[in-house]
Amino acid sequence: MGSTTHNAMDTPPAVCVHLNKTQRYNAIFWKPNHSDAVLSTLMLQIILSVVVTRTLHVILRPLKQSKIVCSILAGVILGPSVLGRNKAYSDKMFGSKELLLFYTVSTLAAYLYVFVACIKMDVAMINRAAPHTRKLSLFCLILPFTFVVLLTNGIGKFMPGRGAGNGLPIHFCFVYSISYFIVVTQALDELNLLSSELGQLSSSITMINEFVSGVFIIIGVATEQKGTRNAIYCALSFCSLIPVAVFFVRPIFRRIINRTPKGKPVEERYVIAVILMTFIMGFITDFIGASCGTAFMIMGFTVPDGPPLGMAIVRKCELIVFDVLLPLFFFRIGYHTDLSAIRNWKELVIFGSLVVVEYLGRLIACLLFSSSLKMKERKAVLLSLILSLQGVVQLFQSIRWQQQKLIDDQTYTTIVMGIVVVNAIITPLIEVFLQASDGSPVCAYIIHLLAISSKSVPTLAPYKNHLKMIKYPSSSDNIIRAFLNYAERSKGPVLIEPFTMISPYKYMHETICRFGEKIHAPLIIVPFFNSEEAHGIDGTLRIFNTNIQAFAKCTVGLLVDRGLRSTVNSTTFSYNMAVIFLGGADDCEALALATRASRHSNVTITVSRINMKGNYTTLGDKMQREVDNTLFRNFKAMSVNNGNVVYHELVADGIEDLMKSLRRLTNVCDLVVVGKRHQIPELEALLSWAKYPELGVIGDTIAAPDFVGGRMSVLVLKHHSSENQWRHF
């Protein structure tokens, strides 16, 4: 991908066309063989690649397989190894005219993929990387490369390309020793680890790897030229692209950002201008003899990531490039892959040995630096697995070698299937390591909401300010840092994923609900401000809260936060939590949260079950009563040996007796958890008198400023009532 040799892989087959002959394709009434049309065949190729890729992803996702594994397998199925064995299919899909357009569009798809993926990169990450991270990055490059070179020297003549008078063996070792940023970050994004501490460390390491590899690529290509003068010209022409991008193109992008009003999306004409400039840069690099992919990569690095410009380009291009055009590139990979070409099983053993040795080099490097990075051995193993992932870059290089006749069909097929096997093994292992822990893991997605004008498009992106050295951090920066400090100092496994959402108030709930459904979040907690000033004159915050409660497909909690009663430090932390259990689906969620919190040794929980006198006449009431009794019995059985859990059972004659019981039970608590709705007619009748009905009758009463001095925080839970509901958290 970073090579500057000319685009040999893009050389299409020679096609002879009659200039004076015009063909018309006017549907089935004029020409029954409509698939002979080149454009129609291309559309069919795109349809097949997308459909087969999506189908495989649905089938293999339960086996924890990544998208790239499904994409490559889809290409293999559509290629000569499976469907291509049918002559009629092969003639229609891979004719000379069809391949000309097929090669062009698939190559453009790969270049656009590189461009969009590079926009997501934060180039300043190299400067911000700690010294230990830089050293680890170099060792993660040097050790695998050294081990692979030693192995290739040992296997001698069995190494593909050896003795052919070219630098393929050393180039092969170099390509498969590097952890590529594009490959790793896309895998981290799919695993929802991109904003995590481990994800940021992996991104920093791969960014430095890419930078170092770029320097060696320039040197390698220059030394391949004939004569010293040609080598100097080649190196200078390549290096000149970077100053042009930094000192000419990037200031233009900065000016576009400065002209965009704060909180407003960038104008569409600027997005089009950036894409056109990328194509112009690609034309120039091709003209000077470099690869167009280099231009797309440099332009992607040049575009400032995040809102408004980088995010706008990614939002407009990502769907069509990643999900529609890119499968065509994997179709092309599969077209050149022929499983029947594998006859020499020694090459399979050689490739497997190279992969194992390369991984051992990364593992040793990660374990050596685990102590200096204050990283546990399990996390070091996990980091080495992440850095060993392979993807588009290796595939791009492999097809380039095949087009240049440096490797034969067997070696190419071995490399492609080796990439499939490596990712098919590593991705599930990463998920297993993430789930393996001594206690129950906690993963929290923290979203900082920013309101903008109603005409703007909502955007959700990873929050990155905590990665930068900010002299005057904002309140949101401090809040995110507090969550991250909690994750770092927690005794159990805690993962914090910070995000920023920029959206009008009326669309905020839609974005949050979709995101919660995507990540299968069992609980969404939204802050509730118990004052008229905070809610605003138009009540936008209250509308937002009620919309979240109405549309979220999981349990929703409204948190009235009043802080802590006493100061907290990492050594003397203690917290008092009370749960009011009157019955119903919402109170069952409160009891489930208490069950989860009871695992913490410094949390004292008081669960009070209050039975209201009355008759349960309907079948629904009796069934819910039975569910309440079962859950409460299970909770008591689980907490029988837990000294931090206390439970009471009380009987209230009426509403007045209920309120007296609440005041006695919640007088010394830091947090009170209660359900919003209760199947008690007397309580439901009082809902119209509540100041904040979204809190329910009990929640509105406890959250009132005059209730026990207004010192307690209150969490009101509302259970999602759909039949396809998620389980208790």
pLDDT in tens, 634-683: 888 877 777 888 888 888 777 777 887 777 765 678 889 998 888 777 77
Question: Does 161 or 381 have the greater pLDDT score?
Answer: 381
Question: Does 233 or 252 have the greater pLDDT score?
Answer: 252
Closest CA to 680 of 651, 644, 654: 654
What span, in angstroms and rounded, lies between the C-alpha atoms of 667 and 434?
40
Does 523 score more than 80 pLDDT? Answer: yes
Residue 95: band (very low, low, confident or very high) from pLDDT cuts 50, 70, 90: confident
For position 70, what pLDDT does the model report?
A: 92
Mean pLDDT in residue range 219-235: 68
- Least confident residue range of 116-130, 153-167, 456-470, 512-526: 153-167
pLDDT tens sequence across 448-498 = 888 776 556 677 777 765 455 445 566 677 788 888 877 777 766 777 888
Mean pLDDT in residue range 294-312: 81
Does 617 score more than 70 pLDDT? Answer: no
Does 118 score more than 90 pLDDT? Answer: no
For position 25, what pLDDT does the model report?
A: 47
For position 34, what pLDDT does the model report?
A: 45
pLDDT tens sequence across 96-112 = 777 888 888 988 998 99
| Two domains, one topology: 97-435 and 575-718 | no
Residue with tokens 């003397």: 572
Does 582 score more than 70 pLDDT? Answer: yes
Structure tokens at 509: 């709930």
- Least confident residue range of 114-128, 179-193, 528-542, 639-653: 528-542
Q: Which residues pair with 495 in a beta bridge?
A: 443
For residues 152-183, b (16+ Cβ closer than 10 Å) or e, as one string? Answer: beeeeeebbbeeeeeebbebbbbbbbbbbbbb
For position 35, what pLDDT does the model report?
A: 44
pLDDT tens sequence across 246-261 = 888 888 888 888 888 7
Percent of the chain with pLDDT over 70: 79
For position 153, what pLDDT does the model report?
A: 74
For position 225, what pLDDT does the model report?
A: 64
Mean pLDDT in residue range 171-194: 81
Q: What is the mean pLDDT of the chain?
A: 78
Question: Does 524 or 649 have the greater pLDDT score?
Answer: 524
Mean pLDDT in residue range 338-345: 80
For position 439, what pLDDT does the model report?
A: 54
Domain 97-435 has CATH 2.60.40.10: no
Residue 56: band (very low, low, confident or very high) from pLDDT cuts 50, 70, 90: very high
Domain boundaries along the sequence of the chain: 97-435, 575-718
The order of strands in the sheet holding 671-675 is: 523-527, 555-560, 713-718, 671-675, 575-581, 603-612, 645-652
For position 227, what pLDDT does the model report?
A: 65
Residue 22: band (very low, low, confident or very high) from pLDDT cuts 50, 70, 90: very low
Does 175 score more than 50 pLDDT? Answer: yes
Residue 50: band (very low, low, confident or very high) from pLDDT cuts 50, 70, 90: very high
Helix, coil or strand: residue 695: helix
Contacts of 656 (CB under 8 A, 6+ apart): none
Q: Count CB atoms within 10 A of the CB of residue 42.
A: 18
What span, in angstroms and rounded, lies between the C-alpha atoms of 636 and 144?
55
pLDDT tens sequence across 531-570 = 655 555 556 788 888 888 888 888 999 998 887 766 555 5
- Least confident residue range of 65-69, 236-240, 271-275, 324-328: 236-240
- CATH number listed for the domain at residues 575-718: 3.40.50.620
Mean pLDDT in residue range 332-344: 84
Q: The pTM is what?
A: 0.65
